[in-house]
Amino acid sequence: MQERKANIAVLVSGGGTNLQALINAQNKGVIKSGEIKLVISNNSGAYALQRAEKANIKTAVITKKSFADQQSFEDAIIDELEENKIDLIVLAGFMSILSEKFTSHFKNRIINVHPSLIPSFCGQGFYGLRVHEEALKKGVKVTGATVHFVNEIPDGGEIIMQKAVNVLDNDTPESLQKRVMRLAEWKILPQSTELISKKLIER
């Protein structure tokens, strides 16, 4: 008998390298308790959408400018998620802060990957290259990535997994960003997705 799998939606805004890591992990059986059923982007030009289509995953584009305010934008996302019976939401480079109304609607069912060891270099305004620029400016010897639950505080939810990555003397923000993705983000995001999917279907 085919066991039930958690239905996963991935929210993206850009190139979708973390989405690709999730698709690859699903193909390899790292993610086996859940299945990516939907990719939602708030940017119609996101390359992530092409990655999803190539993997035969349903896509939806919901842009903020199509709506009068944040609430109607979020309501449209909620409608899409509920229509597709989504159990788990993975934020993979989704460049839009979600309100408390949204996060409490899916309590403990939204996860995000952040490119530092929280509580360092996180919170409002810390995303993308800025995280790595600040880490290098501070002179830290170790950085990494964190997967955490999403609540109304940016990067404020409970930590699920962390993985450390060494900082090299000749690192630039770009080289550090690439290494953190390859050695940490692309490993712990799929592992955490599997862990939470498994918990959701065992409830």
- Cβ proximity of 171 and 126 under 8 Å: no
What residue spans define the domains of the chain?
Answer: 6-113+147-159+187-202
Q: Identify the CA nearest to 17 among candidates 93, 91, 89, 126.
A: 93
pLDDT at residue 160 is higher than 70: yes
Strand (E) or helix (H) holding 90: strand 88-91
Domain 6-113+147-159+187-202 sits in which CATH superfamily?
Formyl transferase, N-terminal domain (3.40.50.170)
pLDDT at 2: 53
Please confirm, yes or no, whether 114 is among the known catalytic residues: yes
Supply the mean pLDDT for the chain.
96
- Cβ proximity of 115 and 181 under 8 Å: yes
- Cβ proximity of 199 and 5 under 8 Å: no
Number of other residues whose CB lies within 10 A of the CB of residue 43: 18
pLDDT at 97: 85
**pLDDT tens-place string over residues 2-33:** 579 999 999 999 999 999 999 999 999 999 99
Strand (E) or helix (H) holding 192: helix 186-202
pLDDT at residue 158 is higher than 60: yes
Rounded to an integer, what distance in angstroms lies between the CA atom of residue 9 and that of residue 47? Answer: 17
pLDDT at residue 1 is higher than 50: no
**pLDDT tens-place string over residues 32-49:** 999 999 999 999 999 999
Q: Identify the CA nearest to 88 among candidates 189, 188, 193.
A: 193
Number of other residues whose CB lies within 10 A of the CB of residue 179: 18
